[in-house]
Amino acid sequence: MAVKINRGNALVALNLTALIDVVLLLLIYFMVASRLNEEERTMDIPLPSAANAMPMTAEPNEMVVNIDEGGRFVVNDQEVKPADLDALIQRSVIDNPLRPAVIIRADRRVPLQTPISVMDVCIKRGAAYSLSIADEEQ
């Protein structure tokens, strides 16, 4: 005698209406998007060009000014006098015309006026800067 297995009616009554609606909406969306993309390409717009422009191959150098507990300025592992710091920042601005960055790292025990004087020089020379107060003991 054969055994009759009842598989149910769940797959027989699968409603595909919602799935068809989603597929049609996606089709319409991509048709409209591709049409707008074609219109942008067909517009005749003369773009500006530069004869001497070169792509940037490296990021601009960042100048790091360290200020220790005694208020001394150290740039590239060399102690710098406050009068020479102005010339260094000015040279950095000239060497990196794309808004050079100066990172000011100050010891937390240094008087606040010291890093502010470096920020003032950066503003005067047109250099972008960021300040971080660090603990030298760490």
In the chain, the largest separation of any two C-alpha atoms, in whole Å, equals 106
How far is CA 107 from each of CA 1, 67, 115, rounded to the nearest angstrom?
A: 92, 6, 10
Closest to 65 measured CA to CA, from 6, 7, 126, 121:
121
- The one-letter amino acid at 128: A
Interatomic CA distance for residues 71 and 117, integer angstroms: 11
Residue 106 half-sphere exposure toward CB, CA atoms < 13 A: 20
**What tens digit of pLDDT does each residue of 44-76 get?**
656 566 667 666 555 556 788 888 888 889 988
The structural architecture, per CATH, of the domain 63-134 is 2-Layer Sandwich (3.30)
**What tens digit of pLDDT does each residue of 81-103 get?**
988 888 888 888 887 777 678 88
Contact 106, 131 (CB under 8 A): yes
What's the whole-model pTM score?
0.53
Phi and psi of 26, rounded to 5°? -65, -40
- Where exactly are the structural domains of the chain? 63-134
Element (H, E) at 95: helix 82-95
